[in-house]
Amino acid sequence: MSRTLVVFGATGDLTRRKLVPALFNLQRKGRLPDDVRIVGFSRSPLSDDEFRGRMAEALVEFAGAPASDTERDRFLGRLHYVAGSVTDDRGMETLAERLDELEGEQCADRLYYLAIAPRFYAPTVARLGAMDMVCDDHGERRVVVEKPFGTDLASARTLNEAIHEVFEERSVYRIDHYLGKETAQNILFTRFANTVFEPLWNRNYIDHVQITVAESVDVDHRAEFYDGTGVVRDMFQNHLLQLLTLVAMEPPSSFDADAVRNEKHKTLAAVRPITSGRLGLDTVRGQYAGYRTNEGVPDDSETATFAALKLEIDNWRWQGVPFYLRSGKALPEKVSEILVQFRCPPHNMFPLPPGATLSSNYLAICIQPDEGMHLRFEAKVPDTVADLQPVDMEFHYRDNFPGVELPEAYERLLLDALHGDPSLFARSDTIERAWSLMDPVVEGWQTDAAPPLEVYEPGDWGPDGAHALMRRDGRRWKRGCRHC
């Protein structure tokens, strides 16, 4: 049985920058089965060869290490192109005919990848259904849907319903590229392939958790899109909540997709929605100075480019342990990390100088850029009676796995989708739950209950309110992976 990957939006940025380089790297590593063909579909009138030419340029620009001509030509030979529009029956008919021709009489699994503007997701899926292109008789039919999956709960529900008219849930692969990151995957391995962490991983030993996803870039050429989206929809509803579930979920009974995704869903279901009365206390919204001067952004835009939220999880394990999440653009550096702060020792037996206290331990999980972990604990300073100093036990991928290049998230996600493993993709109920947690924030920020929109200078760690949020709880934001 061969496999066909049909990429809708084949001349777009995502295909050029991420999908095609990822597929090529999979081939280079010997992971892309020989029987996989790739069919691009887009409006530009290109021949197969012209499309191949464009993708060859994309490989040079985005696929990392140079490859031999043979390797490259073998890859380009897998590529085909059909010109047409997803809004037009004729184009889809041509696509259907071309797919039949390429696949021949044999059965072939098909993966439809929607790398198109979100407003075309539902119509494209409907057309696939109407044109009988999802019938499983000749091989499995799956669909990959890029983010954003809806803009709120209502639109996500409508989109889920539209997709479920045509595809069963087991055939729908909703991308959150954070789940494809090696370090995000490693959270489950750290927690559940070891015994040292899990006994401590609860309210008895953990004081709080911080999740930071910071970017140094500003919104730049995406300003017009971004202004209608803002940081909560762009980063929190998906990436930050997914990281939270990986840290907070219960151990699944197996590595099976359903088992893992059930636990993740249960965790999000236990997150307490932020009520209107708590918006001023548990949420902070910021906008970097100069944001409004971007082309396409209104002079009075209230769009947040930074947010900090305090979330609580109402279950046995996490009752009373706050999860502080922050993310923003134009921050000092690009870094994603999770800091699990343990409680202070209950009693100090050491003769510390007046006013000094024992500092508490933390585990910092460095998602990017320098992937690894730091476990911070107190050590005795040599040649002193009882001086203490915090030290780090460190793990870095680059040291422990020298020569192994961490793959791009899309490599793993594409391969899983081709093989039919949905573990690292978001399920409909979980996506909807994530929206139902973030809608009260996005909508509440348009009411009188909203905290003030605070301006921060590009290069600062967000507005003062983000620090005040922590100070009120006697805590502060930390960077545990600073020494990476």
Residue positions annotated with a catalytic role: 239
Min separation Cβ 215 and ligand BG6, Å: 5
Question: How many chain residues touch ligand BG6 (CB under 6 A)?
Answer: 5
Whichever of 160 and 336 has its CB closer to ligand BG6, that residue is 336
- Considering only residues 134 through 173, tell me which ones interact with ligand BG6, judged by CB under 6 A: 147
Q: Between residues 125 and 409, which has the closer beta carbon with respect to ligand BG6?
A: 409
Q: Establish if 460 lies at the interface with ligand BG6 (CB under 6 A).
A: no
Smallest gap, in angstroms, from Cβ of residue 234 to ligand BG6?
5
Whose Cβ is closer to ligand BG6: residue 83's or residue 417's? 417
Contact 278, 203 (CB under 8 A): no
Q: Alpha-carbon distance 143 to 124, whole Å?
A: 11
Q: Does 234 bind ligand BG6 (CB under 6 A)?
A: yes
Touching ligand BG6, residues 427-456 (CB under 6 A): none
Q: Which is nearer to ligand BG6, 210 or 262 (CB)?
A: 210
In the bound complex, what is the minimum distance in angstroms from residue 60's beta carbon to ligand BG6?
A: 21
Extract the tokens encoding 334.
């690009």
Nearest to 248 by CA among 340, 153, 126, 351: 340
Q: How far is the CB of 301 from ligand BG6 (least distance, A)?
A: 16
Residue 408 binds ligand BG6 (CB under 6 A):
no
> Which is closer to ligand BG6, CB of 52 or CB of 147?
147
Please report how close the Cβ of residue 217 comes to ligand BG6 at its closest, in angstroms: 7
CB of 222 to ligand BG6, least distance (A): 7
103, 146, 207, 215: which one contacts ligand BG6 (CB under 6 A)?
215
Beta carbon nearer to ligand BG6, 3 or 177: 177
User: Residue numbers of the site for ligand BG6 (CB under 6 A)?
Assistant: 147, 177, 215, 234, 336
